[in-house]
Structure 1
Amino acid sequence: MSSRAATRNVRQTDDSSHIRATPQSAAADSPEAGARALRRGLALLDAILAGGREGLRVVDLCRVAGLERPTVYRLLATLIESGYVAPRGRFRYVTGPRLAAMPQRQASTDVAERIRPVLSRVSQACGDAAFAIVRDGPLSQCVARHVGTHPVQVLVIQVGTRQPLGVGAAGLALLAALPDATVGEIIAANAESLGQYNGMTPDRMRILVRATRERGWSVIGNHATRNVLAVGMAVSNADGEPVAGISVATTLARMPRERQQLIARVMRESVGALLPRGL
């Protein structure tokens, strides 16, 4: 074989089709080699985490993590197989579903503290209970709520409640604000459990997502809790990324269309006034 052909056969490109697991030598099984591989893998993962939603190319990962290209390809194969990293298009790599599913406890606490004044303002304005949720993988987790002044309070969830993202108004608003690919993954992950929420289906969820996007805020009733209707809205961070959802829930009788619109406006104005730079 000519040297030119040999070079062509080993050439690597920034194409995810080249990411394949490769067999390791016996020397790679030594404790020293294992520790070195772990350190390199963590360095690569740190770089991908810092890369954000747009992700990084292999050439970027080599530079940031200080690793050679063959090592980066080998580590990427393992991280992708394990779900910690995912390809974005052909050339970039982002955090994978395994990391997205990990609870972000400190982040949730920070969100709860910053969003409570918004819930208080919204609840005082409409008299009904207001709620805030964050995403926990394919689920929503309630991180804060504020009880209103109306004699009948519909406390559909409590702090700590987890349910499929989208079956409640706050979760539906957050779900609809996410990229299409992420929405599809979340609906697929929850497909088997959606039926427990008064006959919710993946198709119905997709319809609700489209309607929420067109309207700019969510409306959902009789799924998470019977005879209740709720209005929700997504809340973004300083980078414009949707990270939380807020909602107001009450009885069907107290939620005619005009009041739904009024509550949505109150939520938008409250977020704008109290969180002008986002969460």
Structure 2
Amino acid sequence: MDSYEDPGTPHPSARGTQAIGRAAALLRALAHDNRNGLRLAQLAPKLGLERPTAYRILRRLDLGELVYDLGLLADSGNHLRDLCRGSVERLAIESGDTSFLIAPRGSDCICLDRAEGTYPIKVLTLDPGQRRPTGIGAGSIALLALLSPQESARVLEQNRQRLATLGENDVEALIACVERARADGYAIKQPPDVPEVLSLSIALHDAAGAPALALSIASLATRITSRLPTLVALLRDEVRSLRPLLGPAGARSVDRIDRAGPQRVTAQTPASASRKRRMTSS
């Protein structure tokens, strides 16, 4: 599982590997905080590096057109965004709210795509390309629910420190949230820093049986809870439409989702959201 902690101080014979590891960790840190960017004084402590060392790595990386080109290559090799674009757009149109496509990346989850609905209050909890530690958001909870209880708990425990820095201080509560998602066939989650918002998500396996993607809808809590059966049905329809693209394991995911239903809502739903404003949170 990847993270952006400093890989440590290796034997002198491994200096080349250390440099590569530090450069990769730096890129992951920048990707995680891509909305606002990072100052060198913020970046160095995240990597466990002295500022001069972090500065030298940045100078040598030449973060410009090469990184952009590599991003294009990675995108062309992974067609999930293109394959799922229609589903993401339909969810936004039919729900009126913001929809997301989420995919696992090691111990993180990344937002591959986003579409905005017509409802005037926009819940923009993630930007396309933004990474967060697995355990933040309904999409990552839905993906964890496709793992065994032991494996999902291990991922959350591994991310404990990073989750705490983002307001998720109770890993045991997250494990319980994953268990509910596993039983219900969908995940519902309240951001720790935006209590009037809920996100709803369903995830799918790939052909090899590994968690591949999650489709999510985010809106005011009252809009989610008042339309829960309808929104779950919308997500199921789009997940079902993706089944031929993901192979037999994806079909098994849909079969399990079909057997489950919107049985209960477990997140708090304060109604303090009548104001017309544009919400953003990381």
TM over 0.5: same fold? yes
Question: Where does residue 235 of structure 2 map in the other structure?
Answer: 267
Contact 1:164 1:194 in 2 (8 A): yes
1:131 corresponds, among 83, 100, 109, to 100
Instruction: Supply the AA of the counterpart residue of 1:211.
Output: R
Greater RCO, 1 or 2 (C-alpha within 8 Å, sep 6+): 2
1:209 corresponds, among 178, 192, 203, to 178
User: By how many angstroms is 1:224 displaced?
Assistant: 6.2
Q: Please list, as runs of the form range in 1=range in 2, the aligned pairs for 1:12-27 lying within 5 A after superposition.
A: none
Distance 1:242 1:118 in 2: 18
Distance 1:251 1:126 in 2: 12
Question: Where does residue 40 of structure 2 map in the other structure?
Answer: none
- How many matched pairs? 176
Question: Where does residue 248 of structure 1 map in the other structure?
Answer: 217
Distance 1:191 1:108 in 2: 31
Distance 1:227 1:254 in 2: 10
User: By how many angstroms is 1:180 displaced?
Assistant: 2.9
What's the TM-score once normalised by structure 1's chain length?
Answer: 0.58
Distance 1:197 1:179 in 2: 25
Instruction: Supply the AA of the counterpart residue of 2:202.
Output: M
Contact 2:215 2:239 in 1 (8 A): no
1:119 aligned to 2:83? no
Distance 1:134 1:115 in 2: 11
| Partner SS for 1:278 | helix
Q: Please list, as runs of the form range in 1=range in 2, the aligned pairs for 1:182-193 lying within 5 A after superposition.
A: 182-193=151-162
Any unmatched runs of 5+ in structure 2?
1-70, 248-282
Contact 2:142 2:187 in 1 (8 A): yes
Instruction: Supply the AA of the counterpart residue of 2:124.
Output: L
Instruction: Supply the AA of the counterpart residue of 2:207.
Output: A
Task: Kindly provide the CA deviation profile for residues 89-140 of structure 1, in whole angstroms up to 9, marking residues without a partner as x.
Answer: xxxxxxxxxxxxxx99458741111111111111111000100111111111
| Partner SS for 1:186 | helix
Distance 1:107 1:165 in 2: 24
Distance 1:232 1:133, change over 3 A: same
Provide the aligned C-alpha RMSD in A.
2.3
Contact 1:237 1:243 in 2 (8 A): yes
Contact 2:136 2:168 in 1 (8 A): no
Task: Kindly provide the CA deviation profile for residues 21-59 of structure 1, in whole angstroms up to 9, marking residues without a partner as x.
Answer: xxxxxxxxxxxxxxxxxxxxxxxxxxxxxxxxxxxxxxx
Question: Where does residue 221 of structure 1 map in the other structure?
Answer: 190
Instruction: Supply the AA of the counterpart residue of 1:180.
Output: P
For the pair shown, which has the larger CA radius of gyration, 1 or 2?
1
Contact 1:134 1:143 in 2 (8 A): yes
User: By how many angstroms is 1:143 displaced?
Assistant: 0.6
Instruction: Supply the AA of the counterpart residue of 1:112.
Output: R
Contact 1:122 1:130 in 2 (8 A): yes
Any unmatched runs of 5+ in structure 1?
1-102
Distance 1:160 1:267, change over 3 A: same
User: By how many angstroms is 1:201 displaced?
Assistant: 1.5
Question: Where does residue 133 of structure 2 map in the other structure?
Answer: 164
Distance 1:170 1:185, change over 3 A: same
Distance 1:108 1:145, change over 3 A: farther
| Partner SS for 2:159 | helix
User: By how many angstroms is 1:155 displaced?
Assistant: 0.8
Contact 1:168 1:220 in 2 (8 A): yes
1:144 corresponds, among 88, 91, 113, to 113
User: By how many angstroms is 1:239 displaced?
Assistant: 4.2
User: By how many angstroms is 1:218 displaced?
Assistant: 0.2
Q: Percent identity?
A: 25
